[in-house]
Amino acid sequence: MNIEQKADKLRREYLAHDVDRLVFNDFQKALPALQQTALYDIFRRMPKGRLMHAHIEATFDLRYMLSLALSCPDVYVFTSPETPEFRNMQLAHKAWFEGDIPAGWENLRVAVAAQPELKEKIFVMCTSDKENIDENIWPKFEAIFDRFKAVNNYKPFFVALYTEVMMRMAEEGLMGVDFRYISQTIFDEDGRRLSPEEYIDTVKEIETKVRERYPWFTVRLIYCYYKGVPVESVPERLEFARRMIEKYPDVILGFDMVGDEDCGKDLKYYAPVLREAQVPVIMHAGESVNPDNHNVEYALELGIKRIGHGMNLYRYPEVEKKVKDAGVMLEVCPLSNQLLGYVPDLSQHPAAGYIKRGLNVTISSDDCAIFDTAFITDDLLLAYICWDLSLADIKRCLQNSQQGDPQLLSIFEEQWKAFEEAI
């Protein structure tokens, strides 16, 4: 029995026992049992290519981050009700305050020692599941980012956390990652905000350390701004991206705009300035089920070669054909799409059709800290089970993430051969 047959047999056995279709309707709840299966072990050991769509602000193991926070004597938690300035269960390093600790904040170690259940409450407030899905899902989702950025952006904490992140990514089989970042500013022990250049240099220093053990592992950054802002504010951000690319051509890949796709300002609104951009544009588009959302079409008109999500591309067959013919990469994030309310039943996700129709698809996790999943293994397994894919389909998605780089493809093929022999 070859690996393709073995995986398919294990999938059919699993689905025969999943009479409630939990894996399709609530993948997070199905995951603990899945992780104990031989099928999960195959995907855990599988070489993974690159992670093409991940937001650095929410790509880490949340339980590890909380243990790191508890190991630091100067981390505080906001235990009071929400205010305009602070989120309930928000974490922060004392250097973030630039002065006295405001009312409502408690030392994290002291607070958890007095109330051990507080650690789990923080975890719950920093994650999202299907029970959170309603008309306010985007504000609730975006609020989670606020809860950990004031501790994660403390430079010593950032270095410790993301060294662990990148090491674990490589251990999970990833050859690298393209992180989206939103002008992230880290701060030192004195509260000094480091420059954008110092931020990038810090990421590169972490990468160098990881490459001592995993020499093929590389990190790239995509600078992001927000959808929904006035178009007049975008040229300044594009110019910033241009300067960063000029200074770090091997690190910064391009410019993206993130946020709720149905915020009222589409890519047609931003097209005049994006057409004039002197940087590569890599864009979130079609993260929506709204039939009036034409962002994938507008993205194609802008000549964009990478589209994040593309959920509603299937609504426009002529545009889909152009996307296929142009070789545009679709960075698909299946579990994220479910947990933001776009696809209640994962068997109905349109990316299954994109893959079978030969589009250039990659599979990513988007915000694994918030979803409490692996960096990429869980989304790959989800796609395999819920979309009735073959392992050859999964392999093709992973090959797509190499973007035609002959050296990376060669390394990946060697890894895949060893994987098949081991299984």
**φ, ψ dihedrals at 222, nearest 5°:** -120, 115
**Per the domain annotation, does 392 fall within a domain?**
yes
| Confidence tier at 334 by pLDDT (50, 70, 90) | very high
My answer on whether 33 and 126 are in the same domain is no
Q: Which of 77, 110, 134 is the last residue of a domain?
A: 134
Query: Can you give 46-75 as a three-state secondary structure string?
Result: CCCEEEEEEEHHHCCCHHHHHHHHHHCCCE
Q: What is the pLDDT of residue 135?
A: 87
In the predicted structure, residue 423 carries a pLDDT above the cut 90: no
Q: How far apart are CA 408 and CA 216, in angstroms?
A: 8
Q: What is the pLDDT of residue 341?
A: 94
Q: What is the pLDDT of residue 387?
A: 98
**Per the domain annotation, does 140 fall within a domain?**
no
Q: What is the pLDDT of residue 416?
A: 96
**Per the domain annotation, does 143 fall within a domain?**
no
| Confidence tier at 33 by pLDDT (50, 70, 90) | very high
My answer on whether 10 and 103 are in the same domain is no
My answer on whether 174 and 212 are in the same domain is yes
Q: Which residues neighbour 221 within 8 Å (Cβ) at sequence distance 6 or greater?
A: 56, 178, 179, 180, 181, 200, 203, 248, 251, 252, 253
Q: Which of 104-108, 186-190, 404-408 has the highest mean pLDDT?
A: 104-108
> By C-alpha distance, which of 334, 344, 293, 313 is closest to 130?
344
Would you give the distance in Å from CA 120 to the centre of its chain? 23
My answer on whether 11 and 106 are in the same domain is no
By percentage, how much of the chain surpasses pLDDT 90?
Answer: 94
**Per the domain annotation, does 273 fall within a domain?**
yes
Q: Number of structural domains, the chain?
A: 2
Q: What is the pLDDT of residue 1?
A: 79
pLDDT digits (tens, 9 = 90+) for 148-165: 999 999 999 999 999 999
In the predicted structure, residue 183 carries a pLDDT above the cut 90: no
My answer on whether 405 and 274 are in the same domain is yes
My answer on whether 250 and 385 are in the same domain is yes
Mean pLDDT estimate for the chain: 96
My answer on whether 254 and 367 are in the same domain is yes
CA distances for 276 relative to 230, 273, 284, angstroms: 16, 5, 18
Q: Which residue has the tokens 């409450």?
A: 121
Cα atoms in the Cβ-side hemisphere of radius 13 Å centred on 155: 19
My answer on whether 126 and 224 are in the same domain is no
**Per the domain annotation, does 141 fall within a domain?**
no
My answer on whether 334 and 376 are in the same domain is yes
Domain that holds residue 277: 3-60+148-422
Q: Which of 134, 160, 185 is the last residue of a domain?
A: 134
**Per the domain annotation, does 142 fall within a domain?**
no
pLDDT digits (tens, 9 = 90+) for 227-272: 999 999 999 999 999 999 999 999 999 999 999 999 889 999 999 9
Angle between helices 155-171 and 137-152 (to 10 degrees): 110
Q: Which residue has the tokens 């398919």?
A: 8
Least confident of 161-165, 372-376, 408-412: 408-412
Q: Which residue has the tokens 């800290």?
A: 369
Q: What is the pLDDT of residue 388?
A: 96
Structure tokens at 128: 């999202």
| Confidence tier at 193 by pLDDT (50, 70, 90) | very high
My answer on whether 92 and 157 are in the same domain is no
My answer on whether 36 and 69 are in the same domain is no
Would you give the distance in Å from CA 41 to the centre of its chain? 22
In the predicted structure, residue 225 carries a pLDDT above the cut 90: yes
Tell me if 266 sits within 8 A of 247, measured CB to CB. no
Average the pLDDT over 341-357 and give the result.
97
Give the CATH number of the domain where residue 173 resides.
3.20.20.140
Q: Which of 101, 134, 167 is the last residue of a domain?
A: 134
Q: What is the pLDDT of residue 263?
A: 85
| Residue type, position 178, single letter | D
My answer on whether 86 and 165 are in the same domain is no
Q: What is the pLDDT of residue 61?
A: 97
Sheet arrangement for strand 360-363: 283-285, 306-309, 329-332, 360-363
Rg (CA), the chain: 21
Q: How far apart are CA 234 and CA 239, in angstroms?
A: 9
pLDDT digits (tens, 9 = 90+) for 35-77: 999 999 999 999 999 999 999 999 999 999 999 999 999 999 9
In the predicted structure, residue 144 carries a pLDDT above the cut 90: yes
**Per the domain annotation, does 192 fall within a domain?**
yes
Q: What is the pLDDT of residue 98?
A: 83
Q: What is the pLDDT of residue 185?
A: 81
Structure tokens at 277: 């951009």
CA distances for 407 relative to 172, 175, 212, 231, 413, angstroms: 20, 12, 18, 40, 10
